[in-house]
Every structure is written in structure tokens, then in C-alpha cells.
Amino acid sequence: MGSITRAFYGVVAGVACVAITAPARAEQVGVYQAGATVAFDPELYGWIPADAADAGLAVLDTVGGTGAAWQIADSAVGGAAPHYLQPLSGRYLADARQLGWRMTAAARLVSPSGGLPSMGIGVYFDNAAYLLQLDLEGGALVASLWDHNNPVRILSEPLTGVADAQAYHDYELRWSPASGLASLYFDGRHITDWDGVPSVHGPGGNVYQFGASAASGSGVMNFRRVEFETLTSLSIPGDYNGDSAVDAADYAVWRDHLGGGFAAADGNRDGVVNQQDYEVWRDNFGRAAGIGIDQVPEPSALLLAPVAIWLRGRDKRATR
């Protein structure tokens, strides 16, 4: 194949643009990060203290390398369950319902409950509560998930010693709209899935929290980092059926859910499917995800395509 022919092939290759399914990315909604030597108050990050005027205190923890942490202690006195929370609402709630959410924490359990477990992280989401409560049993770290009849032991045999059980670990709760289940991950390892229990906050009480979650429980836990994320679609606005193209099928989705709260057809994320969402669809009609402005072929490239095909045929004849 000659150099001119190869050049034409390169031009033509740029003409074929295939629409791809847009992925989803995580969008940070709430975060707490202790400093290297000073643990700042979670209220500075927008967290709301609950069941205590000041739900915790800053400590300098030498476990796992010297570093600051925010310590929350639940003594089970007076029925309080000290914790920090943030509400989940607006477009973040819409994203969570449509694409899912994830809550993570880098933390360590300092002392056992001595009774009912309470310390951990949790999410009250629509009608369900997904609460991870940690405790030490015989030196092993144990997770209690509210809809399980028995605690789920989350450390494997080599890690059942007291030193490992009370070290810093990465905890993660992840919810998928496809299954309607939450998943527990421990140090990146999938442990189990569960469907939560009815939320005490009701369908409108969407919050995520860290600290104590049971008024009759107890325990002490240090937190170095807490994060809540929703998954946000990278698909283009107006793509209401998720096929990476804005077309008549998306209009049908909008029309069928007009006046309702269907998150996938709520183009401007105001919580209701209305005229504004139609305008989002109209303004983006004909677009396809995966094809950016820099990928649209110039007219000159399209005109050169027949020439490239002719050159390819000439090369084949020359090699016979």
C-alpha cells in the first residue's frame, strides 16, 4: 500500500464515529477528612451533629501511623446516639435513585460495645435503612447488619487478632438500583448484600451518617475519612431512556411520565417531570453520546472517502 493510500485511509478512519454507551462517574456529595496532625470539626465540612451538642472530639491516634482522627464515643447514657449526618436531596437524591450511591469510611473501632453494637456508618434511603454497626467479639471484628438474623463476621481467619481488629480499615456501603440491595465491602473485599430494614425516618427522610446509630448501644470509634458519593450519568441531557442518543424514544419517556417524579426523565433535576424537561430534550435532540465536536468529520473528509476506496482497489489490482 502506498503512502498516499495510507494517508487517505487515515482520513476515512476518522469519519466513522460510533456512539458508545456513556459511563457513570462518582460525584462527591459529602466528605469528612481529618488533617495530618489536627482533626477539624466535621461541622466545618457541613455535617450536622445529632443526639449531642458536640458529638465528638479531635484526637491524635498513633495506630496505623500517627495521625489525627475524629473520635465519637457512645456510652449509652440517656438514650443518646451521637453521630453526624447530612441530608440527601435535590439532584443528588435523583442521581442516587437512578444510578446508585456509595458511602465509605477509613476508621477503626477503639473499644467494644460491652452490649449492643452501635458505632459505624449508615444511610437512610427512601423507605429503607442500611446500617453497619461494628463490635468486637472474642477479639474478632464483627459487623451487624440490621436485617440479618446473625452478625456477619467480616475478618478472615488470619485477621482475627485484637491488633488487626482494632486497626484502621476501609468500610464501604454501596447501593444498586438494579438489584435494590446494598453491598458491604471491607478493605475492598465484597462481604454480603442485603435489603435493609424499614427506615424510622420514613420515605422523605434521606440522610447519611457516621457514628452511633442505636440509642441503646455503645462503643468508641475513630474516623479519619468519611465520604458519600452518588453516581452521576455522563450521558447527554435529554437522553431519558439511557441509550446514549436523544431521539423520539426519549420524548415518549418524557410524555409517559409527565407530571410525575420519574428521575430518568427529570432533565433539569427539579424533582418533577415538566415542560422544562421537554425543553432539555428539544434542545439536545439529535445528539449522541460518545461523539464530541472534535470527532465530527469535516466535509472535505467525506468527499475524500470515495477516492480512498478507489485507491484501495487500485492497490489490490497492482499486487495481483
The predicted pLDDT at position 268 comes to 74
CB atoms within 10 A of CB 49: 18
Q: Where are the domains of the chain?
A: 27-233, 235-287
Pairing of strands 48-50, 140-145: unpaired
Give the tens place of pLDDT for each residue, 145-177: 876 455 554 543 333 456 688 899 999 999 988
Q: How confident is the model at residue 294 (pLDDT cuts 50, 70, 90)?
A: very low
Give the tens place of pLDDT for each residue, 234-286: 557 788 876 668 889 889 989 988 887 666 677 776 667 899 889 989 988 88
pLDDT at residue 91 is higher than 90: no
Prediction pTM value: 0.66
Q: How confident is the model at residue 101 (pLDDT cuts 50, 70, 90)?
A: very high
Q: Determine the Cα–Cα distance for residues 234 and 99; give it in Å rounded to an integer.
A: 11
Pick the CATH number of 27-233 from 1.10.10.10, 2.60.120.200, 1.20.120.1460, 1.25.50.20: 2.60.120.200
- Which cell numbers hold the place of 264? 430518568
Provide mean pLDDT across the span 89-102: 90
Task: Find, among 102, 105, 137, 123, the residue nearest to 219 by Cα.
Answer: 137
- Between helix 275-284 and helix 248-256 the angle, nearest 10°, is 170
pLDDT at residue 181 is higher than 50: yes
Could you give the percent of the chain with pLDDT greater than 90?
27
Task: Kindly provide the residue ranges of all beta strands, DSSP E only, lying in the chain, ordered along the sequence.
Answer: 24-33, 48-50, 57-61, 67-74, 83-87, 101-111, 119-125, 128-137, 140-145, 152-153, 169-176, 181-186, 189-194, 197-198, 207-212, 219-233
**Within a 13 Å sphere around the CA of 47, how many CA atoms are in the beta-carbon half?**
29
Superfamily of domain 235-287: Dockerin domain (1.10.1330.10)
- Which cell numbers hold the place of 36? 495530618
**Within a 13 Å sphere around the CA of 91, how many CA atoms are in the beta-carbon half?**
10
